[in-house]
Amino acid sequence: MSLFMDVHNMEGGVSAEDVAGAHRADLATQGEHGVEYLKYWVDEEAGKIFCLVNAPNAEAANTVHREAHGLVADEIYMVSEHT
């Protein structure tokens, strides 16, 4: 498993409530693909969503988004955690 951060750019902004619903859909779908969505961040005004996910690869992470709610990431980066 690798750690990924994805970025969604939502034209016209986004509501935290809508993102929470999409995240719940991701959680309901992720197990079928060996993916674990860990955390997300939202900038409502800028229309930015950032998702932190453990996944076998970037495509598996995007497949969960696609199947759960159709909003695939615009960008996805492999990252490593440092404290």
User: Sign (positive/negative) of CA torsion 69, 74, 77, 83?
Assistant: negative
User: How is the chain split into domains, by residue range?
Assistant: 2-79
Q: What is the pLDDT of residue 81?
A: 87
pTM to 2 decimal places: 0.91
State the SS3 of 14-56. Answer: CCHHHHHHHHHHHHHHHHHHCCEEEEEEEECCCCEEEEEEEEC
Structure confidence at residue 83 as a pLDDT band (50, 70, 90) = confident
- What is the tens place of the pLDDT at every residue in 19-75? 999 999 999 999 999 999 999 999 999 999 999 999 999 999 999 999 999 999 999
CATH of domain 2-79: 3.30.70.3090
